[in-house]
Chains A and B, each alone.
Chain A
Amino acid sequence: MDQELRSELQKQGVFTTTLEDLYNWGRKNSVWPLGFGLACCAIEMIAASMSRWDLARFGAEVFRPSPRQADLMIVAGTVTKKMAPQVVRLYNQMPEPKYVIAMGACAISGGPFKQGYNVLKGIDRFIPVDVHIPGCPPRPEALLHAFMTLQEKIDQQQLTGAGRARHLHADKPSEFPVPEFGEHDLQPPNNPAVWKAPKMTRNG
């Protein structure tokens, strides 16, 4: 059914929907995050779930203690190289469909520790991140915005066809290689299937 006919029917007081829309509507309003914080951003995440910012409005207040019951991983804080394998393993243990919000400067890029030796320069080097939030730490409003962005993304995902969501492709992986804590750096230092080093180009 095309959009025109649908809006025409809506004017007459007949509301129509598709199975896909209904399914995504249910999905986006019950995103259960993994109860998991790494640093100071976790405090903002906790604040966002409490009464003042009230994450429950998005159906996302149920922080699960087990990755098996979670839909969303909020990487809230500094991911050290020692912690990165555990983060990736937890992500691997989450059932599909799963989403990741990288919260704060550290989780998206290493933040103030980017030049250091022991902090991972962004969790998107190992797992696919859906929403990045900048900030040090981001305010709960920023996390709410990330939630709404993620909800929009879930709402637009297709169930069938070539453009269907990642988790519905049988050949796309659900698990990503867990890096090992090596002598100098994580081995491998990034997952080439997920992240490619940006190419430097100089003009003039």
Chain B
Amino acid sequence: MSGDNASYLPVIILMLAAVGFALAPLTLAWLWARNFSPKKPGQDKNATYECGLESKGDAWIQFKSEYYLYAIIFLIFDVETVFLLPFAVAFTGLSALAFIEMMVFVFMLVAGLVWAWQKGVLTWK
């Protein structure tokens, strides 16, 4: 048992050395800054952006929520294609149950398309 523990000792030492290697420069820099360089914060220095221009306006702006329509139409056409392709490939080997399941899936998406059509989303304005 004690032999097993001893075999991990180099790993622990290596880990401590690694942590020390990472922390030592940070500590040195911190000590150096504390002893030698005075803190000089300022309005520009503490500004969020660093492109040289002052930031204008408010970050709390509202986005239009109408974009969800595009998401739904995308789902109908894109996701359906992704599932229809393997369905078509494996069509001859499918059981009746699998065929019905697939039809239900297609029907759900077609129902979405009908809904969108009725809502007038497909009309180009």
Q: Footprint of B on A, CB under 8 Å?
A: 23, 66-68, 86-87, 89-90, 92-93, 95-97, 159-160, 167-170, 173-175, 178
Closest Cβ–Cβ distance, residue B72 to chain A (whole Å): 40
B3 at the interface (CB under 8 A from A): no
Let me know if B50 and A174 touch, CB within 8 A: no
By secondary structure, the B interface counts as loop
Are A89 and B42 in contact, CB atoms less than 8 angstroms apart?
no
Residue of A at shortest CB range from B49?
A93
Stretch at the interface among B33-41, B77-85, B96-104: B33-41
The complex places the Cα of A23 from the Cα of B43 at a distance, in Å, of: 29
Q: Give Cα A93–Cα B40 distance, bound, in whole angstroms.
A: 11
Neighbouring B residues of A86 by C-beta, 8 Å:
52-53
B34 to chain A, nearest CB (A): 13
Contact among A92, A160, A168 with B42 in the assembled complex (CB-CB below 8 Å)? A92
Whether B38 pairs with A92 at a CB distance below 8 angstroms is no
- Asked if A174 and B45 sit within 8 Å, CB to CB, the answer is yes
Name the interface size band of chain B: 10 to 19
Shortest Cβ gap from A164 to chain B (Å):
9
Q: How far is the CB of B32 from chain A (nearest CB, A)?
A: 8
Known interface pairs A68-B50, A89-B52; A96-B42 also in contact (CB < 8 Å): no
Task: Across the A-B interface, give the 9 residue pairs with the lowest CB-CB distance, nearest first.
Answer: A86-B52, A174-B40, A92-B44, A170-B38, A175-B42, A90-B52, A89-B52, A66-B50, A89-B44
Which residue of B32, B38, B44 contacts A178 across the interface (Cβ within 8 Å)?
Answer: B44
* Beta-carbon contact of A93 and B47 below 8 Å: yes
A-B pairs under 8 A by CB, number: 44
Contact A67:B50 (CB < 8 A) given known A174-B40, A174-B42, A178-B44: yes
- With a cutoff of 8 Å between Cβ atoms, the chain A residues found around residue B66 in the complex are none
User: Is B44 a contact partner of A96 (Cβ separation < 8 A)?
Assistant: no
List of A residues within 8 angstroms of B54 by Cβ: 89
Known: A92-B45, A175-B43. A87 touches B52 (CB 8 A): yes
Q: Which residues of A contact B45 (CB under 8 A)?
A: 92-93, 95, 174-175
Q: Is there an interface contact between B37 and A167, defined as CB atoms closer than 8 Å? A: yes
Seen from chain B, the residues whose Cβ lies within 8 Å of a Cβ on chain A are 32, 36-38, 40, 42-45, 47, 50, 52-54
The minimal Cβ–Cβ distance linking B4 to chain A, given in whole angstroms, is 45
Complexed CA–CA distance, A92 and B42 (Å): 8
Show 15 residue pairs from A and B whose CB-CB distance is below 8 angstroms, ordered by the A residue: A68-B50, A86-B52, A87-B52, A89-B53, A92-B42, A92-B44, A96-B40, A97-B37, A159-B36, A160-B36, A167-B40, A168-B38, A169-B38, A175-B40, A175-B43
Once the chains are docked, how many angstroms separate the CA of A126 from the CA of B38?
23
With A68-B50, A86-B52 in contact, is A93–B36 under 8 Å at CB?
no
Given contacts A93-B44, A160-B36, A174-B42, 5 further A-B contacts (CB under 8 A): A89-B54, A97-B37, A168-B36, A169-B38, A170-B38
CB closest residue in chain A, given B52: A86
A146 to B69, CA, bound (A): 60
CB distance from A176 to the nearest CB of B (A): 9
